[in-house]
Amino acid sequence: MTDNTVPAAPRADFPRATVLGYPRIGRRRELKRALESYWAGTTTADDLERTSRDLRLTTVRRLVDLGLDPGTGAVPNSFSLYDQVLDVTATLGAVPARFRPGREERPVAPAGTERGTGKHLAEPPSEVSTETYFALARGTAEQPPLELTKWFDTNYHYLVPEIGPDTPIRFADDRIVREFAEAADPSDGGTPVVTRPVIVGPVTYLLLSKPEDGAPEGFSPLRRLDDVVAAYRELLAALAAAGAPWVQLDEPALVSDLIGAPFDATPGSTDGPGRPDTTTVSDAVRRAYAALTAPSPGTDRPQILVAAPFGELRRASGDRLALLAGTDVEAIALDLVRGATPPTEGTAAWNVPGLASKTLVAGVIDGHNIWRADLTSRLDLLESLRRTTGARTVTVGTSTSLLHVPHDVDDEPRLDPALAGWLAFADQKVGEVVTLARGLDAGRPEVQEQLDAATAARTGRAGAAGVVVPEVRERLAGLTDADFTRAPYTDRAAAQRTRLSLPPLPTTTIGSFPQTTEIRTARAAWTRGDLTDADYEARIRQEVASVVALQEELGLDVLVHGEPERNDMVQYFAERLAGFTTTVNGWVQSYGSRCVRPPILWGDVSRPEPITVPWATYAASLTDKPVKGMLTGPVTILAWSFVRDDQPLADTANQVALALRDEVTDLEGAGIGIVQVDEAALRELLPLDAAAQPAYLDWSVRSFRLTTSGAAPATQIHTHLCYSEFGDIVGAIDDLDADVTSVEAARSRMEIVPGLASAGYARGIGPGVWDIHSPRVPSGGEVSDLLKLAVAEIDPRLVWVNPDCGLKTRGYDETRASLANLVAAAREVRGSL
Ligand code: GLN
Ligand code: ZN
C-alpha cells in the first residue's frame, strides 16, 4: 500500500458490511471551528487543510476500529469541507458566470502542484480554488451565494447548482482522488485504508440544479447530462488509476416525486415547442449509467454502487429498482427503513430482471433516526432478502448516510443511562451493521449475545416509565371530531373584529426580535450556572420591556414579546415538555459549519406547567395594544426532533398538539387574544413519494387543528409558514383553518398571492413585505409597492402587513429602520383603500 504504483482495481466483491456515509463535522465540531477561524482570517488555508485531513484520517480509522474492513472499500469517504453537492460543482468546475468575472486573468495552477500527492495524479489540476469554493457557499461583496435548500426530507441543506447551456463542465478538480490516495497511502505512517469515495450521482446532481440566470426559457439542466457524465467518466478513471475498488454514487432523486421532472414519459407526450424538455428521470438514469459503465480501451473504472436513500424504489407506479438493475452497475443500495418492502412479498421471489448480477446493499439500519435497532427482526429480513430477491448477493448497510445522526452515544454524559441504552448514534450504528453482517455470514449463534442485548434494550424501552402514560393515551382516545373543529370562520371573524378593533392592513411581526450578543451571553452564563435563575429572568424581562417599547414607538398594531428567552423555537419547547430529552454533544450538520442538536422525543408527551404564559402576559401588561402569544406547532416540533419509532407519527403529533392546546387555553385564560402557532416545517415533512402525501397532509393538518380548535371564536389564531413554494400544499394550508396565515413573499414579489386567492383561500393573509434573510433595509416605497400588489389580488380586508419571518438573526439598526418603513407604507396604502 505504500507503493505508489497501485495496480488496476481488482474486481473485488462488495464488502459484507458498510455505512453509506458518516458525520463529517467532527466529534467536537472540529471542522466547524476550523472553517469559522479560516473565514475570520485567524487561520490559514493550510491550517484548514491540515485540520480537515486529520479529521478524515481519524474518521476512516475510527470506522475500521468499529469493524469495517480496511482493504475493500467498506469505509466510505463522505467528507466535505462544506457540502457534497457543492463538491460536485467544484469537481466539474461548474462555476456560474456570476462568480467568474475576471476568469481569463486567473492563472490555472499547474498540474500536481496543489497539496501534494501529484505522483500518480498528475492530471487534472484543481481549477476551483478554496476561495472560489467558499465564495459559492457564502457569497462575496458583489454576489449572493448559491441558494441553500433542504436535502430531500432531512434537515440538511445543500447549495443549489446553477447550470446553463454554457456553464463550463469538465473534470476540473481531483480532490476526491487526492482524498482516496491520502487514506490509502497516509503520509503520517498510520494504518492505510482503502476507502469508497461517496459522490452525488450525475442524475441527482442535475435534477437538483436550477437553470443559471440568463438561460433560455424552458432550459433544463438535465440537458447537460452528457457533459456531466463525460466528466464523471474521467473522475472514475482517475479513481481506478489510484486503486479505488468501489465508488458510491448517491441518487436519492430516484425515490422522489418532488423533483422537477417526470419519472417516466406520459404516454402520448411529444417533444414540441410548448414542452421543450421531455427528458425523464428514467431516460436520464439509463443514459447516464450506460455511459458510465461502457468499457473504454486502456482505462479502468471502480465498480459502482448506486445508493437510493430516503424512500422506496419499488413503486406500484413503476419499478425504479428494475431500472437500476437494467444498467451495468455492480451494486445497488436500498433504503429498507423508509422503503418498506410490501409484506405480501415476504416470501415471494422479487423477479427483477438484471438483479441476478448485482449486489444488493440492504439498508436495514436507520441512518436517519437514533434508536437502537431490533437486530433480530433485521436479521430475519436480511435472511429473507437472500432467499427472495434473486440478487447475486445481499450485504448489510445503513438506509441513508449517517450524516443525519450525531457521532456517539458514549459522548453523552448527562443522558439517563437507561435512555442511553435505547439509542444508537453513528458509531453504534456501525456496530449494528457489523454485527448483522457477521450473523448473516457466520450464523446466528455467532451474534446471539448481541441480538439478545438489542432485544432486551427494546423490551426495557417499551416498559419504561414515561414511554406509555395512561392519562395521555386516554385523552387521545377520547378525542372526537369536535376537538378538531372551530366555529365557522365568518362567526369568528365577526367576534374578533369586535374584540380587537384593528385598523385595515394591520401591522405585526412574526415573533422574534434580534437576539443580541448580550442575550446569548446571559443565556450561556445561566446554562453554565454562572447566572442565577432570578438574574437571568430579570435580564429577559428587561429585554421584553424594551422590545414592547420599541414596537409602541414604531406604531405597530399587534405586538409580540420578542422571544428573547428562546434558544431555538423547537428546543425551547422540548426542554419544557415531558417525553423529550436533549443532548450535550448530539450535533448534526444543518449546512456548512452550522449544526443543530435535535431533541429526542422518547415518551408520551405532556406539559407539566405553562411555558410561554408568563412572558406573554408580562408583555401584555406593558401595553394597551394586543399582544400575540407565540407557539411552535406540533409538526415543526416533530420535524426538528428525533421522533420515537414505536407508534405512528400521527399519534405522536397529536400528543404534542394536546400539550400545546393546553398552552393556548392558558394564554387565552390570561387574556391573550391572539395566538400564533408556527408551522415552519409543514412543507418539509411532505413525503417524497406522491402516494404517501395525502395521508401525511391529513394527520399534519389535524394535529394543527387539534392544537388550535379549543380557542374561543373571539381568539384569533395565526400561523406562520416560512417559505413561498407551497403550490403542492395550498389546499392543506386552507384546511389548517387559521384566522391569519403569514408567509414568505417579498423575494418572489408576492408571487404566491394570486395562487392562494384562486385556490379559494379567504381568511387573513400576511404576505411578507420585508426579506429578512438579508441585512438590507427595504424602503417605504418598496414596501408599499408590494402591498399594492397584494391588495390588487385579494380583498384588502384580509391583508396583514408583516416581515417574511422572525427577526432573531437581524440587528437592531436595520430592524428599527425596516419596521418604520413597513408601518409608514401600511399607513400610506390604508389611505388609498
Ligand atoms: N416565531 C418564530 C420567530 O419569529 C418563527 C420562526 C420561523 O418561522 N422559523 O422567530
Ligand atoms: Zn419563518
**Residue 773 annotated in active site:** yes
Q: What integer pLDDT is reported at residue 401 of this predicted model?
A: 98
The finding on whether 629 has its CB within 6 A of some atom of ligand 1 is: no
Spatial CA neighbour of 677 closest among 651, 647, 698, 653: 653
pLDDT digits (tens, 9 = 90+) for 82-116: 999 999 999 999 999 999 876 543 333 333 333 33
Q: Considering only CA atoms, which residue is closest to atom 10 of ligand 1?
A: 806
Written as one letter, the residue type at 55 is: L
Q: Considering only CA atoms, which residue is closest to atom 1 of ligand 1?
A: 511
Confirm whether residue 722 is marked as ligand binding. yes
Q: CB neighbours (10 Å) of residue 488?
A: 10
Confirm whether residue 452 is marked as ligand binding. no
760: cell is 379559494
Given a contact cutoff of 8 angstroms between Cβ atoms, the answer to whether 75 and 196 are in contact is yes
Q: Which atom of ligand 1 is nearest to the CA of 676?
A: 1
Query: Rounded to an integer, what distance in angstroms lies between the CA atom of residue 735 and that of residue 560?
Result: 26
60: cell is 476512516
Query: Rounded to an integer, what distance in angstroms lies between the CA atom of residue 464 and that of residue 461?
Result: 5
Decide the pairing of beta strands 148-150 and 578-581: unpaired
Confirm whether residue 150 is marked as ligand binding. yes
Spatial CA neighbour of 281 closest among 310, 301, 247, 308: 308
CB contact set of 213 (below 8 Å; sequence gap of 6+): 96, 97, 98, 162, 164
Residues in the chain: 833
Query: Rounded to an integer, what distance in angstroms lies between the CA atom of residue 425 and that of residue 406?
Result: 6
Q: What is the ipTM of this complex?
A: 0.99
| Rounded alpha-carbon distances, angstroms, from residue 544 to 232, 350, 385, 562, 803 | 55, 62, 59, 6, 19
Q: What integer pLDDT is reported at residue 694 of this predicted model?
A: 95
Query: Rounded to an integer, what distance in angstroms lies between the CA atom of residue 720 and that of residue 311?
Result: 29
577: cell is 415538555
Query: Rounded to an integer, what distance in angstroms lies between the CA atom of residue 744 and that of residue 724?
Result: 5
The finding on whether 604 has its CB within 6 A of some atom of ligand 1 is: no
Q: What integer pLDDT is reported at residue 16 of this predicted model?
A: 97
The finding on whether 512 has its CB within 6 A of some atom of ligand 1 is: yes
Intra-chain end-to-end CA distance of the chain, in Å: 78
What's the 826 CA to ligand 2 centre distance in angstroms? 21
Confirm whether residue 512 is marked as ligand binding. yes
* Three-state DSSP string of 52-105: HHHHHHHHHHHHHHCCCCCCCCCEEECCCCCCHHHHHHHHCCCCCHHHCCCCCC
Q: Nearest-5° angle of CA 800, CA 805, CA 809?
A: 145
Query: Rounded to an integer, what distance in angstroms lies between the CA atom of residue 341 and that of residue 338?
Result: 9
Q: Which atom of ligand 1 is nearest to the CA of 805?
A: 8
What's the 523 CA to ligand 1 centre distance in angstroms? 19
Confirm whether residue 32 is marked as ligand binding. yes
Q: Which atom of ligand 1 is nearest to the CA of 632?
A: 1
Question: What is the full DSSP assignment across 747-772?
Answer: TTTTTHHHHHHHTT--SEEEE--S-T
Please give the backbone phi and psi of residue 481, each rounded to the nearest 5 degrees, phi first.
-55, -30
Spatial CA neighbour of 184 closest among 345, 34, 5: 5
Q: Considering only CA atoms, which residue is closest to atom 5 of ligand 1?
A: 806
Q: What integer pLDDT is reported at residue 298 of this predicted model?
A: 87
Tell which one of 551, 612, 640, 678 to mutate to probe ligand 1, the residue whose CB is within 8 A of the most ligand atoms.
Answer: 678
The finding on whether 569 has its CB within 6 A of some atom of ligand 1 is: yes
Q: Which atom of ligand 1 is nearest to the CA of 510?
A: 4
Query: Rounded to an integer, what distance in angstroms lies between the CA atom of residue 720 and that of residue 563?
Result: 15
Q: CB neighbours (10 Å) of residue 103?
A: 12
Q: Nearest-5° angle of CA 189, CA 190, CA 193?
A: 120
CB contact set of 625 (below 8 Å; sequence gap of 6+): 551, 552, 556, 557, 558, 559
Tell which one of 157, 569, 635, 636 to mutate to probe ligand 1, the residue whose CB is within 8 A of the most ligand atoms.
Answer: 569
pTM of the prediction?
A: 0.92
Spell 599-625 as b/e; 16+ CB within 10 A means b. bbbbbbbbbeebbbbebbbbbbebeeb
Please give the backbone phi and psi of residue 811, each rounded to the nearest 5 degrees, phi first.
-95, 165
What's the 631 CA to ligand 2 centre distance in angstroms? 13
Q: CB neighbours (10 Å) of residue 768?
A: 26
Written as one letter, the residue type at 365 is: I
SS3 242: helix
Q: What integer pLDDT is reported at residue 119 of this predicted model?
A: 36
Query: Rounded to an integer, what distance in angstroms lies between the CA atom of residue 411 and that of residue 414?
Result: 9
Output the CA torsion 440→444→448→450 (10° steps).
0
What's the 73 CA to ligand 2 centre distance in angstroms? 43
Domains of the chain: 30-339 (3.20.20.210), 508-515+554-832 (3.20.20.210)
For the chain, which ranges sit under pLDDT 50?
A: 1-10, 104-124, 268-278, 343-344
| Rounded alpha-carbon distances, angstroms, from residue 575 to 228, 572, 600, 606, 641 | 47, 5, 10, 12, 12
Q: What integer pLDDT is reported at residue 142 of this predicted model?
A: 86
What's the 567 CA to ligand 2 centre distance in angstroms? 16
Query: Rounded to an integer, what distance in angstroms lies between the CA atom of residue 814 and that of residue 86?
Result: 31
Query: Rounded to an integer, what distance in angstroms lies between the CA atom of residue 238 and that of residue 302?
Result: 9
The finding on whether 514 has its CB within 6 A of some atom of ligand 1 is: no
Please report where in the chains the cell 377520547 appears, as a residue. Answer: 478
Q: What integer pLDDT is reported at residue 7 of this predicted model?
A: 41
Averaged pLDDT of the chain: 91
* Three-state DSSP string of 147-195: CEEECCCCCCEEECCEECCCCCCCCCCCHHHHHHHHHHCCCCCCCCCCE
Output the CA torsion 722→727→730→732 (10° steps).
-80
CB contact set of 440 (below 8 Å; sequence gap of 6+): 16, 379, 382, 383, 386, 394, 396
637: cell is 416540533
CB contact set of 393 (below 8 Å; sequence gap of 6+): 13, 14, 359, 360, 386
User: What angle, rounded to 10 degrees, do the helices at 470-477 and 649-669 form?
Assistant: 90
Confirm whether residue 26 is marked as ligand binding. no
Spatial CA neighbour of 158 closest among 587, 588, 591: 591
Q: Which atom of ligand 1 is nearest to the CA of 806?
A: 4
The finding on whether 806 has its CB within 6 A of some atom of ligand 1 is: yes
Confirm whether residue 210 is marked as ligand binding. no
Q: What integer pLDDT is reported at residue 125 of this predicted model?
A: 52
| Rounded alpha-carbon distances, angstroms, from residue 284 to 88, 207, 214, 244, 264 | 18, 10, 24, 26, 10
The finding on whether 201 has its CB within 6 A of some atom of ligand 1 is: no
Please, is 664 exposed, middle or buried when counting C-beta atoms within 10 Å of its C-beta (0-12, 13-18, 19+)? buried
Please, is 721 exposed, middle or buried when counting C-beta atoms within 10 Å of its C-beta (0-12, 13-18, 19+)? buried
The finding on whether 717 has its CB within 6 A of some atom of ligand 1 is: no
pLDDT digits (tens, 9 = 90+) for 151-165: 998 989 999 999 999
Query: Rounded to an integer, what distance in angstroms lies between the CA atom of residue 473 and that of residue 604?
Result: 8
Tell which one of 510, 519, 675 to mutate to probe ligand 1, the residue whose CB is within 8 A of the most ligand atoms.
Answer: 510
The finding on whether 722 has its CB within 6 A of some atom of ligand 1 is: yes
